[in-house]
Amino acid sequence: MRPTPATPAAPASHLPSALADSRYAVLRLMVTLALMTVGASGMYVVAVVMPAVQAEFGVARADASLPYTLLMIGFGIGGMLMGRLADRFGVMVPLLVGAVSLGLGYAAAAMAGSIWTFTLAHGFLIGLFGSSATFAPLLADTSLWFVRRRGIAVAVCASGNYIGGAIWPPVVQHFVATEGWRHTYLALGLFSFVTMTALALLMRRRPPVAVAAATRQNLSATPSDLPFGLSPGKAQTLLCVAGVACCVAMAMPQVHIVSYCTDLGYGAARGAEMLSLMLACGVVSRLVSGLVCDRIGGLRTLLLGSALQGLALLLFLPFDGLVSLYLIAALFGLFQGGIVPSYAIIVREYFLPAEAGARVGTVIMATMVGMALGGWMSGKVFDLTGSYHAAFINGIAWNLLNFGIVLFLLYRVRGHRAAAQAA
State mean pLDDT over 171-180.
92
Percentage of residues in the chain having pLDDT higher than 70? 86
Domain annotation covers residue 144: yes
Which range in 2-16, 112-126, 253-267, 268-282 is most confidently predicted, on average pLDDT? 112-126
Say yes or no: 208 and 258 in one domain. no
Residues 208 and 247 grouped into a single domain: no
Q: Is residue 62 part of a domain?
A: yes
Dump pLDDT digits (tens) for 298-308: 899 899 999 99
Return the pLDDT at 363: 81
C-alpha 68/C-alpha 275 separation (Å) is 15
Please report the pLDDT score of residue 2 as a whole number. Answer: 43
Give the residue-averaged pLDDT of 182-211: 89
Per-residue pLDDT, averaged over 317-341, amounts to 90
Same domain, 240 and 121: no
If asked whether residues 252 and 290 sit together in one domain, one would say: yes
Rounded to whole angstroms, how far apart are CA atoms 48 and 169? Answer: 6
CA 63 to chain centroid, in Å, comes to 23
Number of domains in the chain: 2
Calpha distance 36→283 (Å, rounded): 13
Domain C-terminal end among 191, 220, 249: 220
CA distance 328 to 305: 15
Q: Please name which of 266, 259, 272 lies closest in space to residue 54, comparing C-alpha atoms.
A: 259
Q: Are residues 190 and 163 in the same domain?
A: yes
Same domain assignment for residues 167 and 248: no
Evaluate whether residue 423 is within a structural domain: no
pLDDT score of 118: 97
C-beta separation of 365 from 76 below 8 A: yes
Is the residue at 226 inside a domain?
yes
More confident residue, 399 or 210: 399
Name the pLDDT band for 356 (thresholds 50, 70, 90).
low
Residues 159 and 145 in one domain: yes
351 touches 230 (CB < 8 A)? no
- Looking at the structure, tell me whether residues 244 and 204 fall in a common domain: no
Task: Band the pLDDT of 210: cuts 50, 70, 90.
Answer: very low
Q: Is the pLDDT of residue 315 over 50?
A: yes
Helix axes 136-145, 356-385, angle to 10 degrees: 150
CATH (domain of 283):
1.20.1250.20
Whether residues 232 and 188 share a domain: the answer is no
Rounded to whole angstroms, the Cα distance separating 89 from 262 reads 46
Integer Cα distance of 108 and 44 in angstroms? 17
User: What is the rounded average pLDDT of the residues 165-181?
Assistant: 90
Q: Given this model, what pLDDT does residue 225 score? A: 63
- Do 254 and 402 lie in one domain? The reply is yes
Q: What burial letters (b/e) apply to 51-83, b meaning 16+ CB within 10 Å?
A: bbbbebbebebbbbbbbbbbbbbbbbbbbbbbb
Residues in the chain, overall count = 423
Note whether 236 and 115 are same-domain residues.
Answer: no
- On whether residue 376 sits in a domain, the answer given is yes
What pLDDT sits at residue 351? 76
Least confident of 124-133, 250-259, 286-295: 286-295
The chain-wide mean pLDDT, for the chain, equals 84
Q: Is residue 149 part of a domain?
A: yes
Pick from 203, 220, 237: which residue ends a domain? 220
Single residue among 196, 220, 244 that ends a domain in this structure? 220
Is residue 2 assigned to a domain? no
Mean pLDDT of 266-288: 87
Task: Please check whether residue 403 lies inside any domain of the structure.
Answer: yes
Q: How confident is the model at residue 387 (pLDDT cuts 50, 70, 90)?
A: confident
Q: Rounded to whole angstroms, how far apart are CA atoms 148 and 210?
A: 13
For residue 116, the enclosing domain spans: 20-220
| Per-residue pLDDT tens over the stretch 6-23 | 433 343 334 444 467 788
Radius of gyration of the chain (CA): 22
- Using alpha carbons, select from 363, 355, 20, 361 the residue that is nearest to residue 220: 355
Closest Cα to residue 207, out of 152, 141, 154? Answer: 141
Tell me the pLDDT band of 353, cut-offs 50, 70 and 90: low
Most confident of the ranges 74-83, 183-192, 407-416: 183-192
Identity of residue 313? L
On whether both 204 and 256 belong to a single domain, the answer is no
Q: How far apart are CA 205 and CA 234, in angstroms?
A: 40
Stretch among 55-64, 103-112, 121-130, 157-166 having the lowest mean pLDDT: 157-166
Distance, in Å, from the CA atom of 343 to the CA atom of 340, rounded to the nearest integer, reads 6
pLDDT in tens, 73-107: 898 888 878 877 887 788 899 999 999 999 999 99
What number of CA atoms fall less than 13 Å from residue 371's CA on the CB side? 23
On whether the CB atoms of residues 28 and 208 are closer than 8 A, the answer is: no
